[in-house]
Structure 1
Amino acid sequence: MAEAQRTRSRVIDQNPVPRPYQSRTEQIPMERFRPDADWLGRIMANKYPGIAAYAMEVVQMFDSHTTKIRVAVDWNDAGKAAGLPRNLCIKSNWGGQFDNVDIHALEARFYHFLTDRLTAHTATCYYADWNDDGSGQGLVVLEDLIDRGGKFGHSLQHSGVDGVASGLADLAKLHAGLWNSPLITPDAAPWLPTSMEVPVDYDQVRLMDHWLGENRKEPNFCGIAPKHYLDDPSRLERAYDALVDYERKFKAPYCVILGDCHQGNTYILPNGERMWLDWQLGRRGRPWRDVTYFTVGSLTIEERRQSHRDLVAHYRDCLIKEGATDVIGIDEIWEQIPRWVMYGIQAWAANMDHWGQNGLPMNERFFTAGEDLGSWKLLLCE
């Protein structure tokens, strides 16, 4: 199974994008690795000639499918002159897991090529680079957002209906910024995946099969999962494949989507606006993937039952006000929502809590939405 996963995902990077700094001769490490001051200075000197890091303190480290390291760095005069801050966050794949996907290279490409073209807020990136050997390894060095004085979102943060409405307005700003833009066409951005057209999307339910199976062993998970899924786990694969097929056939304008749009991938600025983080699943896609994932995941079950359609209509209004054109009507959007619930079902059913987000309440929200909105029956034509 592992080798099959690796073969499928490697297709993504079979025509690797040339790395941005050809002066770099050493590869970004793929194995377990802990950077030090010498390594960081040496790597970043490819973009900022003459810089060096005299010392680096690891302030905090998160190590799961992505390694995130908050550091405090003492730069030489060249580093200070280049405007490099003392506090930074380093992201790469050094956890010893998920060596069969390209999410880290993709995030680096997003920061290098695209995030400065967006109208929505994104984190300041001081260095973005990737290996061009087809490995999918990438590296980003970002500002330490704690210095902004806001707070990181969490998937289970209770924002309420008004808070979700505010987040959807911010999401509309993200989507409208490059709505139907020539900058994101396959010719202009060949490195940018199209939603549900790459293995990390269309094979996601199979790539995550091990973790789906692990959660089905958990009594608490089994207590909220639909019996029809537990009795026949292959139903999830069939329903997800139907979603993939539906999206590929659908015709509508494209925009840039986050792809993994839950509150845990946001940073709330002091003024209350959300900054969108984690571009590892960024895509050329339709917004309903993000909208459904964000709303169903952010609302309690009762809040969703009472306000879901109104919130989707509010998002549509915001999207048009931000400049998007040829936006499908609310009734047609509402036909999208139940299908895209299945994306959230498969994503959270494979979540491991030690990755940093508590999955059980999110599973309950998505499983319940799937039953309420008839997602399984719709996709499986039952």
Structure 2
Amino acid sequence: MIIETARALRTIFMLAPFARRKKYENDKDDEDRPKHVCIKGGFNPAMLATEGFRELLISAYTNEAKLFSLVAPTLNHMSLTKVWWAGVRDEQGILVMEDLNKAGYTFGNPQDVWSVDQVKAGVEQLAALHASTWGYSYEDYPWITASYEGHDDGSH
């Protein structure tokens, strides 16, 4: 496979640039390959240098990559973005995923009010996640911890 071009189309807070794939060598089925992908990971040194933020970001990026590589394939009845590759090394988690912008999606603003239908759809996805992971244990996935927003006191 040859990636003919890769260029930043835009950068989103906590996301890497979108990359573009144009040409595949010795591959007759280009339609099955993405033309645009989003590469997500902890690539912003300034963010990682923010006091009290580094550990949270490392945890978020590595856990998300592990989720998509280890857990997502077992989840049933959930709407998940297509992830072409997910990996973790040292203190970095990287996803090569579908370009959701090109697919017609937008990044939400957490200050926007959701409609009843949007909340219902979100709750349905959470229910599907809960049902699909019923019986999972710490022994199965020790990297899934009770920590959230830097708190890991065991009370969550």
Length-normalised TM-score, structure 2? 0.76
Contact kept in structure 2, 1:103 and 1:136, CA below 8 Å? no
Q: Deviations over 1:256-289 (max 9, x none)?
A: xxxxxxxxxxxxxxxxxxxxxxxxxxxxxxxxxx
Q: Provide the residue aligned with 1:115 in structure 2.
A: 72
2:152 is the counterpart of 1:194 = no
Residue correspondences, number: 146
Length-normalised TM-score, structure 1? 0.34
Q: Which consecutive residues of structure 1, in runs of 5 or more, have no partner in the other structure?
A: 1-50, 203-240, 248-382
Q: Provide the residue aligned with 1:58 in structure 2.
A: 8
Contact kept in structure 1, 2:79 and 2:125, CA below 8 Å? no
**Offset at 1:139?**
1.1
One-letter amino acid of the structure 2 residue matched with residue 195 of structure 1: A
Q: Provide the residue aligned with 2:17 in structure 1.
A: 69
**Offset at 1:80?**
6.4
CA distance in 1, matches of 2:98, 2:2: 18
Query: Per the alignment, in what secondary structure is the counterpart of residue 125 of structure 2?
Result: helix
Q: Deviations over 1:304-329 (max 9, x none)?
A: xxxxxxxxxxxxxxxxxxxxxxxxxx
Q: 1:79 to 1:91 in 2, by over 3 A?
A: farther
Q: Deviations over 1:179-204 (max 9, x none)?
A: 22xxx3223223x32224x89432xx
Larger Rg belongs to: 1
**Offset at 1:151?**
3.7
Contact kept in structure 2, 1:125 and 1:142, CA below 8 Å? yes
One-letter amino acid of the structure 2 residue matched with residue 53 of structure 1: I
Q: Which consecutive residues of structure 2, in runs of 5 or more, have no partner in the other structure?
A: 49-53
CA distance in 2, matches of 1:126, 1:78: 19
CA distance in 2, matches of 1:151, 1:102: 25
The two structures, once aligned, show a CA RMSD in angstroms of 2.6
More helix by share: 1
Q: 1:80 to 1:129 in 2, by over 3 A?
A: farther
Contact kept in structure 1, 2:42 and 2:61, CA below 8 Å? yes
**Offset at 1:153?**
2.6
2:82 is the counterpart of 1:124 = yes
Q: 1:54 to 1:79 in 2, by over 3 A?
A: farther
